[in-house]
Chains A and B, each alone.
Chain A
């Protein structure tokens, strides 16, 4: 069964460094999403992406964040200058237009020291 994959599973970085979290969505999906879950809190929507453009973003998704689909398979989330409060689990998801279901990846745990 096709699935969304994410790399790395765990990323540790120093405050102020740039990080790129990678996702490979399901191959025939066209809509891509990033979510964040701070430890002990609920999953929060960050951004949705379609046709090489951001469709919607939350107030969390400020200028420090960017997303890109650099090739036909990867979908990336970049955080330019990480802060301590960026420490969280980041989930990627993808969906097909014809369904109401988003398929989630296993997540990348980002730890900012």
Chain B
């Protein structure tokens, strides 16, 4: 079984200040973890992924996330917010392939990031 919890439904930051979007997960397996961004009326864009290599993962647009097994967390950070970062962010946990070969993917409820000029 697996689940993912995004602790904040809305986060508001000023432009140029740091961003922290929180995500906690639970999984019976060694999970893979992902962050996706969704701009209004757009599809899902992969920001970054953790798949059991380095625990600090760098993604696109200056985002990074750190996998902390002891805290079961995978928080997303960015040192300096830009107006274009305003969007919804989804934390996703994926199981390893089942014996049937398919993965089980579970989405968090999303965090809407507002960037104030």
Chain A residues in the interface with B (C-beta under 8 A): 30-31, 33, 35, 41-45, 48, 50, 55-56, 89, 91, 93, 95, 97-102, 104-107, 109
- Which B residues contact A (CB, under 8 angstroms)? 32, 34, 36, 41-44, 46, 49, 51, 90, 94-98, 100-110
Nearest-neighbor residue (CB-CB) of B97 within chain A: A97
* Alpha-carbon separation in the docked complex, A93 to B104 (Å): 12
Residue in chain A with minimal CB distance to B101: A97
Once A100-B97, A106-B42 are accepted as A-B contacts, the answer to whether A50 and B102 lie under 8 Å apart by CB is yes
Check if B107 sits within 8 Å of A109, measured CB to CB: no
Majority secondary structure of chain B interface residues (helix, strand, loop or mixed): loop
Contact of A101 among B42, B94, B98, B106 (CB under 8 A): B94
Q: Which of A91, A93, A101, A109 has the most CB of B within 10 A?
A: A101
Partner of A31, one of B46, B96, B103: B103
A101: chain B residues at CB < 8 Å are 32, 34, 49, 51, 94
Is the beta-carbon distance between A42 and B43 smaller than 8 angstroms?
A: no
